[in-house]
Amino acid sequence: VMGEKLVPWQVVRAVRLDDGSPWASLDLQDDDTLALFAIQSNDGDRAVEAVLGLRALLAASREGPRT
């Protein structure tokens, strides 16, 4: 079953694209894993760029407010 889910950055522990995995995933604070079907490893560099972008957004969400 595919669907859409809004996940707040506060519950995301990591963004992953593991070797051999068909798509990227989010590791959540409750030890659950959420597959990101839109980011497929077959897309090569585009998938890597998407994961790096999500990791940058995750890191930015952990920073305090900018002054």
pLDDT of 30-52, one tens digit each?
Answer: 999 999 999 999 999 999 999 99
Q: Which residue has the higher pLDDT, 27 or 2?
A: 27
Query: What mean pLDDT do residues 17-40 have?
Result: 96
Q: Could you tell me what percent of the chain has a pLDDT over 90?
A: 85
Contacts 24+ apart (CB under 8 A), 40-48: 41/17, 47/17, 48/17
Q: 1 pLDDT exceeds 70?
A: no
Q: 57 pLDDT exceeds 90?
A: yes
